[in-house]
Amino acid sequence: MTTELTLLAWTLVLALAQVLLPAMWRNRETGIDYNTGPRDEPGPPVGIITGRLQRAQANLFETLPVFAAVVLIAHVAGREGALTFWGAWLYLGARIVYVPLYAMGVPYLRSLAWTVSLLGIVLILFAVLAPI
């Protein structure tokens, strides 16, 4: 398996972690009884960290389909190389850094991490779309 596909798989692991993190924080806020029940009534307000983790998760899910698609296109088209390698590393690395930065409420570095992840996608797109 190529490095890019491996990094895509690890990005999916990150996505699962980002599903679990806000759920775990929310469980701390509501308790087991609420979460195992039908949740017919609204629970207590979402806490600051839980809200941030939920927004970080939503943010990942906005770009993950694009990242997955472009990695798969590069693989199928045989366009993998330095640009796709570094693009995939930039995307995953920046997305990993993004989670704690968002959870801690760090404003500018969080945006920088998001920009770096987007740059990773752009590098892979460039490799796919550039003339041979």
pLDDT higher than 90, residue 41 = no
Question: Is the model's pTM score more than 0.85?
Answer: yes
Q: What is the pLDDT of residues 100-113, one digit of tens each?
A: 999 999 999 999 99
The domain in which residue 31 lies consists of 3-129
* Distance set, CA 109 to CA 42, 101, 103 (Å): 34, 7, 12
3-state secondary structure of 33: helix
> Contact, 57 vs 49, CB < 8 A?
no
CATH number for the domain spanning 98: value is: 1.20.120.550
Is a pLDDT exceeding 90 seen at residue 118?
yes
Distant-in-sequence, close-in-space partners of 28: CB < 8 Å, separation ≥ 6: none
Neighbours of 34 (CB within 10 A): 16
If pLDDT is split at 50, 70 and 90, which confidence band does 52 have? very high
C-beta of residue 7 within 8 angstroms of C-beta of residue 84: no
d(CA 126, CA 128): 5
Domain count, the chain: 1
Least confident of 1-10, 27-36, 76-85, 121-130: 27-36
How high is the pLDDT of residue 88? 98
The pLDDT of 68-90, averaged and rounded, is: 98
Locate tokens 């924080």: which residue? 25
